[in-house]
A and B are shown apart, each in its own frame.
Chain A
Amino acid sequence: MKSKPSSYSPGLAAYLFKKKMQKIVQSIFLFCIIIGLCFTILYPIIQLVPSVFSKVEDLGNPNVIWLPMHFSIISFKAAIRFCMPEGIMTMVKSILYAAGIMLIQLFFSAMAGYALARVKFYGHRLVFFLVILVFLIPRQSLLLAQYIYFTHFNAFGLLKLFTAAGEVNLINKPFTLVMIAVLGFGVQQSLFIFIFSQFFKNIPNELEEAALIDGCGFHKTYFKIMIPNAIPAISTVAILSFVWNYGDTYYTRYFNKDGPYLSSILATKFADNNKDLVLNAVKVWFNVPLANDFAFDAIKQAAVLIFLIPLLLVYFGAQKWLVENLENSGLVG
Chain B
Amino acid sequence: MKNKFQLKYKTRRKLNGFLYVLPFLIGFFLCFAIPLFNTVMYSFNKVSVNDAGGMNFTFTGVQNYIDLFTTELTSERQPMIRLFTDQNITILINIPLIVIFSLFMALLANLKFKGRGIVRVIYFLPIIFGIEVVTNMLAITTGGEWTKQSSGLFSQSYISVLLMQYTNIPNNILIPVISYVDKIFDVLSQSGVQTLIYLAGLQSISPSLYEVAKIEGATTYETFWKVTIPSIMHITLFVAIYTAVDQFLTSPISEEAYSFAFEHSKIGTGSALSVVYILNVLLVLGLLMLILRKVVKRYEK
Contact = CB atoms under 8 A, between A and B. Distances in A.
Contacts of B285: 136
Interface in B139-161: 140-143, 146, 149-150, 153
A217 B282 CA distance: 41
Interface string A36-72: 0110111111011000000000001000000000000
Contacts of B277: 138, 141
B261 A144 contact: yes
| Interface residues on chain B, size class | 35 or more
Interface string B104-115: 010010010100
A326 B196 CA distance: 8
Interface stretch (A1-9, A84-92, A122-130): A122-130
B199 A323 contact: yes
Q: Which 6 A-B pairs have the closest CB atoms?
A: A183-B27, A119-B17, A140-B254, A247-B131, A115-B20, A145-B35
A211 to B, nearest CB: 12
A240 B127 contact: yes
B133 interface: yes
Interface of B: 12-21, 23-32, 34-36, 38-39, 42, 55, 105, 108, 111, 113, 119-129, 131-134, 136-138, 140-143, 146, 149-150, 153, 184-185, 188-189, 193, 196-197, 199-201, 203-204, 234-235, 238, 241-242, 245, 248-249, 254-255, 257-258, 261, 267, 270-271, 274-275, 277-278, 281-282, 285
A315 B23 contact: no
Contacts of B271: 144-145
A139 B17 contact: no
Given A38-B119, A137-B36, 12 more contacts: A40-B188, A43-B153, A119-B16, A122-B18, A140-B257, A144-B42, A145-B39, A148-B55, A183-B31, A191-B242, A247-B134, A333-B234
Interface of A: 27, 30, 33-34, 37-38, 40-45, 47-48, 60, 108, 111-112, 114-116, 118-122, 124, 127, 130-131, 134-146, 148-149, 155-156, 180, 182-185, 191, 193, 218-219, 222, 236, 239-240, 243-244, 247, 249, 263, 266-267, 270, 272, 275, 293-294, 296-297, 300-301, 303-304, 307-308, 311-312, 315-316, 319, 322-323, 326-329, 331-333
18 contacts: A37-B188, A38-B123, A41-B125, A60-B142, A112-B24, A137-B281, A138-B278, A143-B274, A183-B31, A239-B127, A243-B127, A247-B128, A267-B137, A270-B137, A304-B134, A307-B133, A307-B134, A308-B128
Contacts of B149: 44, 47
B199 to A, nearest CB: 6
Given A30-B111, A112-B20, A297 B203 contact: no
B245 A184 contact: no
A231 B286 CA distance: 34
Contacts of B245: 135-136, 138
A45 B129 contact: yes
B141 A119 contact: no
Given A127-B21, A247-B133, A30 B14 contact: no
A143 B261 CA distance: 10
Given A138-B248, A138-B249, A143-B258, A40 B27 contact: no
A108 B123 contact: no
A263 B137 CA distance: 11
The listed residue with most B CB atoms (<10 A of its CB), out of A38, A322, A323, is: A323
A263 B21 contact: no
Contact of B20 (A111, A138, A326): A111
A249 B136 CA distance: 11
A34 B117 CA distance: 13
Nearest to A140: B254
Contacts, number: 263
Nearest to A182: B23
Given A149-B35, A297-B141, A331 B197 contact: yes
Contact of A47 (B128, B133, B150): B150
B17 A275 contact: no
B265 to A, nearest CB: 11
Nearest to B242: A191
A275 B141 contact: yes
Given A40-B188, A297-B142, A143 B257 contact: yes
Contacts of B281: 136-138, 141
A34 B121 CA distance: 12
Contacts of A193: 24
A145 B143 CA distance: 37
Contacts of A108: 23-24
A68 B241 CA distance: 44
Given A218-B16, A272-B146, A333-B238, A144 B200 contact: no
The interface centre, meaning the residue of A43, A316, A328 with most chain B CB atoms within 10 A of its CB, is A43
B296 to A, nearest CB: 13
A184 B31 CA distance: 9
B24 A183 contact: yes
Nearest to B135: A44
B14 A119 contact: yes
A266 B139 CA distance: 13
A138 B275 CA distance: 11
A243 B128 contact: yes
A267 B136 contact: yes
B14 A122 contact: yes
Nearest to B54: A152
A145 B131 contact: no
